[in-house]
Amino acid sequence: MPRRQRPHDGFTLIELLVTLAIVAILSAIAYPSYATYVLRTRRLEGKVALFEAMQQQENVYSRSWRYAAFSADAPSAGQGGKDGDADFKWWSGASAALSAYELRTQPCAGSDLARCVEVFAIPGTARVDSAFRDPGCGVLTLSSTGERRAQGAERACWP
């Protein structure tokens, strides 16, 4: 008489190891793509914040014939416009703690705020998400003359 086999109650060790190996391989393939996507998204956040700040700077300039300086140390320093409504946001995202970039301005080199201003997006400072790093682009800069610069060597910083 043949012997009766017991029903299968669980997974064998081999089955678990094969499953873990498949998950590890898929994770190793997917993570670099995810990390690149997150970096590009955060970089776009910084660029959008630069354009918004520059648009606000041009609004101030159209009323007072000079640009306004602002930074995290003096977030309302831009209230030089006639209407007094130029309250500049010094971070790039929805809130300072969740932002990737800190924004600040200064006059262009060899100029003053009556002629030219540069807005800087500085990644991962102590006032914003300090874990964020962007070694490829570094500090992003936009000037009132339309010049776009990046501190890093990556070509795709400003397409």
Domain positions in the chain are 45-157
pLDDT for res 6: 67
Pair of tokens at residue 142:
């936009």
pLDDT for res 73: 84
pTM assigned to the model:
0.78
107, 113 contact by CB (below 8 A): yes
pLDDT for res 153: 83
Pair of tokens at residue 27:
């994770």
54: Cβ contacts below 8 Å, ≥ 6 apart: 119, 142, 144
pLDDT for res 59: 94
124, 130 contact by CB (below 8 A): yes
Rounded to the nearest angstrom, the gap between the alpha carbon of residue 48 and the centroid of all alpha carbons in its chain is 9
How far is residue 119's CA from residue 112's CA, in Å, rounded to a whole number? 14
101, 77 contact by CB (below 8 A): no
**Terminal CA-to-CA distance of the chain, rounded, Å?**
78
- For the chain, residues with pLDDT lower than 70 are 1-3, 6-8, 75-86
